[in-house]
Amino acid sequence: MDNTDKKERQVVFWPGNIVAAEAAIAAGCRFFAGYPITPSSEIAHVMSKRLPEVGGRFIQMEDEIAAMGALIGASLTGEKVLTATSGPGFSLKQENIGFASFIEVPCVIINVMRGGPSTGLPTALGQSDVMQARWGTHGDRPVIAITPSYLDEVYTEIIRAFNLAEILRMPVYILLDEVLGHLSERLEIPDPSEYELLERPRPTVPPEEYKPYDSSFGDVPPMADYFTGYRWHTTGLNHDQTGFPTTDPKICQFEEERMERKVSQNLDKIISYDEFMTEDAEIGIFAFGSTARAAMVAVSDAREKGIKAGLLRAITLWPFPEEPVRKFSKQVKGIVVPEANLGQMIYEVERVIGCNCPVVGVNKVGGVPIYPGEILAKIEELA
């Protein structure tokens, strides 16, 4: 492309939490409800200032439970909505997240992970909420969780998260961690012409004919905005296409399978990953979030020592990138899984690859990042 045709980008030097807030504004977010919690509080702080400037609304609720409820209510009126929290708040939000999933309300939830359990390490790194993101609520439900590793990726992936939430009518997680939330690095802000903003499907039928879960329109039924002349019922009970409760086993089975299909039939739009020096790799690394940055350095260090290492980095953690991981495992002699927890995603890697190759972990929970040398030591063990 001729550089004269490319719009000049704004260059900034922001910490990740500010990047996250600005990306949400760029994605069309006009409502934020939350409760302050380290290490995510800067997101709420920025949103409290920026949303009124663009015609949006910010509200600080009395706790995380109420914040998630407010988020659902705002989304039902047609707004693009965001909340941000960390581990303890993420735990409190789970019941209302399950409700949002079941009534199929678009929303984006940022979890800037820290150490745990309980209050844990409020100001330090952790990556121990990744399985909670998948299984935090009771019942079957589809889950999308995105784990950026770089601040330019934080910006673009938050925009993608809003798009996915809207077009699939569901909550979407952004799993940052304390390092990414507070790390500052140079960033070129994409011009709005460089990305597309998507909207939830809305009804084209008259209000009297509208059914909020009418599957004749596909697995993602049109969603009417409250206060626009359309009336529809929301309930956490199993419901039919009208939104009212039902205990009919066939309807319950169909509706829950339909919700699962929204994700399983759109994996090509959802799953994202990156590869670094994997073409001829003999030792593999699977990593995500800020830990993947150290893993990339470890790969380069291993190459300098004559060890052909390669990194498969998950950008979308849920749905898990099964096929790329399975293919990678057939190529390498072993896989190292570094993560700032006592071992969570390593079991997902083992589940997917079976007996194709050995898998070893590098695990730290003291709030200190995993260093490249620690990953390199495991690479050398497998080489």
A 10 A CB-CB count for 108 gives 29
Spatial contact of 316 and 272, defined as CB atoms under 8 Å apart = yes
- At 181 the three-state DSSP class reads helix
Amino acid 6: pLDDT: 57
pLDDT digit string (tens) for the chain, length 383 residues: 344 455 788 999 999 999 999 999 999 999 999 999 999 999 999 999 999 999 999 999 999 999 999 999 999 999 999 999 999 999 999 999 999 999 999 999 999 999 999 999 999 999 999 999 999 999 999 999 999 999 999 999 999 999 999 999 999 999 999 999 999 999 999 999 999 999 999 999 999 999 999 999 999 999 999 999 999 999 999 999 999 999 999 999 999 999 999 999 999 999 999 999 999 999 999 999 999 999 999 999 999 999 999 999 999 999 999 999 999 999 999 999 999 999 999 999 999 999 999 999 999 999 999 999 999 999 999 99
- Residue 142 in tokens: 């589809």
Question: Which of 127, 155, 130, 128 lies closest to 143, judged by CA?
Answer: 130
* Alpha carbons 260 and 253: distance in angstroms, whole number: 11
Query: CA 184, CA 265: separation in Å to the nearest integer?
Result: 37
Q: Do you know the residue count of the chain? A: 383
Relative to beta strand 309-314, strand 273-276 is antiparallel
CA 36 – CA 63 distance, rounded (Å): 9
Tell which residue, 355, 299, 298, 296, has the closest CA to residue 326.
355
Cα–Cα distance for residue pair 282/144, rounded to 1 Å: 31
Beta-carbon contacts of residue 334 (< 8 Å; ≥ 6 apart): 283, 284, 357, 358, 359, 360, 382
Residue 99 · residue 239 · CB < 8 Å: no
Check residue 86 and give left, alpha or beta (phi > 0: left; psi -120 to 50: alpha). beta
As given in the structure block, the two tokens for residue 266 are 């759109």
Q: Note the pLDDT of residue 366.
A: 93
Which domains, from first to last, does the chain contain?
Answer: 3-194 (3.40.50.970), 207-268 (no CATH), 274-382 (3.40.50.920)
> Which sign, positive or negative, has the C-alpha torsion 219, 24, 369, 129?
negative
pTM of this prediction? Answer: 0.96
Encode 195-218: b = buried (16+ Cβ within 10 Å), e = exposed: eeebebbebeeeeeebbbbeeeee
- Which residues neighbour 214 within 8 Å (Cβ) at sequence distance 6 or greater? 221, 222, 241
In angstroms, the CA 330 to CA 6 distance is 41
Question: What does the pLDDT read at residue 7?
Answer: 72
Are 110 and 85 spatial neighbours (Cβ–Cβ below 8 Å)? yes
Question: What is the DSSP pairing of strand 334-339 with strand 283-288?
Answer: parallel
Q: Which candidate, 263, 262, 276, 259, places its Cα nearest to that of 320?
A: 263
